């Protein structure tokens, strides 16, 4: 098997996040081919070898899978890599994600544990309350486009005028903005040359409130009159209501949505959303679960897993806008949230006050540094880290508290599997686990894991050497 060789085969299964496994009979080995569905017959070219394993690039789907029982629901499928599995039935999507989790976790978890399956999102389509669209062109020197990157490309942008992951209000706003700048022949920012004006359109919409925040992100390289655009946006017939239109200036060389300066063109720079009877104020860059109805399922699961916390202090680490903290606060003695994004911490404090919760405290800073300065000691800990998991220097500090229960929420199951290795070596056992499908049609899923403290004399029974345990414990304290 060499680079450039072309093969045909059937995708046997798809491993997380979207790695199709194709067995090449004459080679008696498998090739990883991304962006496929189990059961598809595909043609692919070998494009690289990684750690001795072959990886192929999908060239063509020769035969559909028997799992593809639905027609595509948007005009840019399958060129757009946003929703890979929209032609599969929703139950089959959840079954595939469950199989992916079990393959990873059955290997990562020491001893037995209970896996409680995948919980469905209450809404399969139109569930996203946040979307970042990019300006660009669909092909070199083509007309201006606004939408999502073409699968496998960091440059080509497909106009997502009928995206089914978002509410129809967002699609109407996208089309309005795109037509406005097309008519005026306004340039988009070219990442390699670092020239141009239009960068991103960030849309946020409360699923329960219908409040919409429109954020236009540009460079400062050009000046354009945006108030006619504001008037056009406000005249759109929407189910919800635009409460704020912002012009965000960003001259960063990197392709990230951030603000050097924010100008309010209309209304306010926040919107409200409601979860489980609580009201949350959300700003442009503060983290909030992107599926509001799915988040309710997720947080109810966390509340169930954490158990009785009366008269207990809870640490909510990587707390974002404090949603988990405030869901737990009514049944806890005290909840302390730690979050590195200051804007999110400010919003969390406001939200707690608005919801009449006086037993929440939120601290801005890196978990690794903040834990040294917190006087209180937790009785239980909730972890909801970013996609890459917990920093290896922060995890030992968290485990040093020795709490009886930890609930870990992960949006990337491979990061959870990696962190479980140290957590189990430090005396914790996985008691139960489930997933909440917050990202229907896509490769992603949230995993919720309950860990309990194991007594040291039982650790030998699951194959953990006590000397290793003490060494790792002491290394963690030394950090």
Which one, of 417, 450, 458, lies nearest residue 431 by Cα? 450
The radius of gyration of the chain from alpha carbons, rounded to an integer in Å, stands at 24
Tokens representing 75 are 């005009």
**Catalytically annotated residues:** 411
**What distance in Å separates the CA atoms of residue 395 and residue 148, rounded to the nearest whole number?**
35
CB atoms within 10 A of CB 184: 12
DSSP 222-285: S----HHHHHHHHTS--SSEEEEEEEEE---SSS----SEEEEEEE-S-EEEEETTEEEEE-TT
The separation between CA 164 and the C-alpha centre of its own chain, rounded to angstroms, equals 18
**What distance in Å separates the CA atoms of residue 90 and residue 257, rounded to the nearest whole number?**
31
CB < 8 Å & 24+ apart, contacts of 256-262? 257/132, 257/199, 257/200, 257/202, 257/217, 257/285, 258/285, 259/217, 259/284, 259/285, 260/220
Instruction: Compute CA distances 170 → 51, 75, 122, 283, whole Å.
Output: 43, 16, 20, 17
DSSP state of 12: E
Whether 438 contacts 403, CB under 8 Å: no
Which one, of 171, 134, 131, 174, lies nearest residue 155 by Cα? 134
Beta-strand pair 241-249/271-275 = unpaired
């Amino acid at each position: 098997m060499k680079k450039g060789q072309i093969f045909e085969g059937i995708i046997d299964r798809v491993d997380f996040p979207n790695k199709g496994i194709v067995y090449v009979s004459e080679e008696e080995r498998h090739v990883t081919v991304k962006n496929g569905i189990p059961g598809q017959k595909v043609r692919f070219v070998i494009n690289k070898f990684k750690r001795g394993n072959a990886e192929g690039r999908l060239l063509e789907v020769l035969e559909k899978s028997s799992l593809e029982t639905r027609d595509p629901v948007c005009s840019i499928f399958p060129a757009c890599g946003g929703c890979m599995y929209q032609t599969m039935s929703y139950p089959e999507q959840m079954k595939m994600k469950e199989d992916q989790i079990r393959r990873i976790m059955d290997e990562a978890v020491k001893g037995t544990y209970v896996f409680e399956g995948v919980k469905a999102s209450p809404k399969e389509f139109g569930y996203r309350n946040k979307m970042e669209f990019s300006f660009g062109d669909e092909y070199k020197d083509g007309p201006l486009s606004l939408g999502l990157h073409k699968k496998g490309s960091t440059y080509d942008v497909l106009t997502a005028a009928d995206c089914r992951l978002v509410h129809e209000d967002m699609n109407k706003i996208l089309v309005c903005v795109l037509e406005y700048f097309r008519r005026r022949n306004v340039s988009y920012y070219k990442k390699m040359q670092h020239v141009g004006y239009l960068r991103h359109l960030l849309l946020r919409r409360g699923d329960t409130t219908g409040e919409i925040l429109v954020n236009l992100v540009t460079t400062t390289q050009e000046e354009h009159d945006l108030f006619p655009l504001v008037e056009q946006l406000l005249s759109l017939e929407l189910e919800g209501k635009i409460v704020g239109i912002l012009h965000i200036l960003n001259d960063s060389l990197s392709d990230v949505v951030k603000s050097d300066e924010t100008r309010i063109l209309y209304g306010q720079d926040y919107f409200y959303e409601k979860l489980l009877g609580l009201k949350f104020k959300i700003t442009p860059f503060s983290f909030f679960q992107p599926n509001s109805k799915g988040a309710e399922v997720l947080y109810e699961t966390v509340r169930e897993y954490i158990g009785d916390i009366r008269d207990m202090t809870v640490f909510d680490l990587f707390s974002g806008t404090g949603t988990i903290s405030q869901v737990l606060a009514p049944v806890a003695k005290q909840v302390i949230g730690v979050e590195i994004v200051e804007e999110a911490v400010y919003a969390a404090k406001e939200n707690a006050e608005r919801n009449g919760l006086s037993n929440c405290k939120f601290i801005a800073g890196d978990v690794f540094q903040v834990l040294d300065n917190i006087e209180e000691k937790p009785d239980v800990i909730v972890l909801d880290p970013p996609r890459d998991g917990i920093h290896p220097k922060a995890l030992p500090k968290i485990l040093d508290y020795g709490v009886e229960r930890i609930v870990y929420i992960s949006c990337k199951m491979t990061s959870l599997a990696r962190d479980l290795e140290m957590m189990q070596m430090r005396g914790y056992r996985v008691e139960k686990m489930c997933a909440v499908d917050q990202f229907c049609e896509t490769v992603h899923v949230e995993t919720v894991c309950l860990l309990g403290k194991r007594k040291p004399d039982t650790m030998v029974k699951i194959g953990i050497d006590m000397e290793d345990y003490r060494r790792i414990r002491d290394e963690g304290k030394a950090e």
